[in-house]
Amino acid sequence: MTYSNRIQIAQATTDWAKSLAQRSTHFVTLNPHRPARFDRGGVNTRGSDAHALLRRWDAYVNCDLIGKRWQEAGMRHLRCEWVAYPEGHELNRHWHLLWRLSADLYPERVDRAINDHLIRSTTYERQLEHLLNWHWKRVIPSGTCVIREVSSPDGLAFYATKEQIFTDNQASFITSKEFHTS
């Protein structure tokens, strides 16, 4: 693939991310702080690939916010939606997510999940960050999660996709829709 083709693909990805960022409520960075593969894994990865890590995190978060029936088709509209863009090489691989809570998710459900984990923080953003971080640590104990409210959608879209110029990253973004089969 030529350099100009890679530029065109990266620009198209950034444009798509801008439209996603307009609908996103939060910008999330998930870092495993250990080697993790960007691909969808194989028989020897033992669940350490990006797809497996993000799938488990998504399941924990949705189950906690929606309840045990979160996988049912009738609950689809309540699930969190996100797109994760990979960044970094070798030992510093992590993902930037354009993430949103469902508008149909009652605030009481989020409050219940926060209270269930005895999260006490000064702001709602910090409480939500602790909740998402708690589930990320369930998936990968060395990991960290940072969450910010979307304030500049275009800037966040550019930041999230800044490494989409690299051929390996162009096919490595993951969406939450990949895990929602029902």
Question: pLDDT of 135-157, one tens digit each?
Answer: 999 999 999 999 999 988 999 88
- What was the pLDDT predicted at 91? 66
- What was the pLDDT predicted at 48? 59
- What was the pLDDT predicted at 31? 93
- What was the pLDDT predicted at 73? 86
pLDDT higher than 90, residue 28: yes
Average pLDDT in the chain: 84
Q: Do 107 and 101 meet the contact criterion of CB atoms below 8 Å apart?
A: no
Q: What is the C-alpha to C-alpha distance for residues 24 and 100, in angstroms, rounded to an integer?
A: 5
- What was the pLDDT predicted at 43? 47
- What was the pLDDT predicted at 166? 79
What contacts 46, CB < 8 A, 6 or more positions away? Answer: none
Q: Do 13 and 161 meet the contact criterion of CB atoms below 8 Å apart?
A: yes
At 108-140, the pLDDT tens digits run 888 888 888 777 766 778 888 889 999 999 999
Kindly report the backbone phi and psi dihedral angles of residue 138, in degrees, each rounded to the nearest multiple of 5, phi listed first. Answer: -65, -35
Instruction: Give 100's pLDDT tier (boundaries 50, 70, 90).
Output: very high
- What was the pLDDT predicted at 44? 47
pLDDT higher than 90, residue 165: no
**100 vs 118 pLDDT, higher one:** 100
Q: What is the C-alpha to C-alpha distance for residues 96 and 17, in angstroms, rounded to an integer?
A: 11
Q: How much of the chain, in percent, has pLDDT values that exceed 90?
A: 31
At 46-80, the pLDDT tens digits run 555 778 889 999 999 999 999 999 988 889 999 99
**163 vs 96 pLDDT, higher one:** 96
Q: Do 159 and 73 meet the contact criterion of CB atoms below 8 Å apart?
A: no
pLDDT higher than 70, residue 17: yes
